Amino acid sequence: MNYEKLELPTLPLMEKAKEWGIEVKGVAFQGGYYGYYSPTKYEKIRLASPHEIVFFHELAHAAHSRVIGQLKSGQNPQQEIVAELSAQVLAEMVGTQMESTLGNSYQYIKNYADKMKKDVGLACVSVISDVEKVLKLILNAGEENT
């Protein structure tokens, strides 16, 4: 079965990824994920979805790596909650797509909160400082590594 490479629409904040030297490309969906951020020497974001919330999530991972120095490998619950919560805030602030993704984000965060053995609200509060730093960095309101 052939999978078609995704042609990405113009996404808000794409210029931030370019400013940071991150290559953003669409890829064919092959199950398992809708996007990923690779913090290697040649940073990249790959998206298997045209939805800006997926891009915002991966951009938040890139910002978070700049805030804390280096992300933990794998699907770290705190890092995933920071990325998803940041993505929802960005969608509200600068997003252009009209469909609501709040329900999906809630379930995503709940999954990781459960892994932390925390209530969703408490899990969000536990990472709110990093979310603030991520948002400031993306929106040019803060400095890296502050």
Q: What is the pLDDT of residues 45-104, one digit of tens each?
A: 999 999 999 999 999 999 999 999 888 888 899 999 999 999 999 999 998 887 788 899
Q: From residue 113, how far is each of 54, 78, 106, 129 by CA, in Å?
A: 19, 8, 10, 17
Domain ranges in the chain are: 14-138
Model pLDDT, residue 16: 97
Q: Are 115 and 76 within 8 A, CB to CB?
A: no
Q: Are 25 and 48 within 8 A, CB to CB?
A: no
Distance in angstroms (rounded) separating the CA atoms of residues 113 and 115: 5
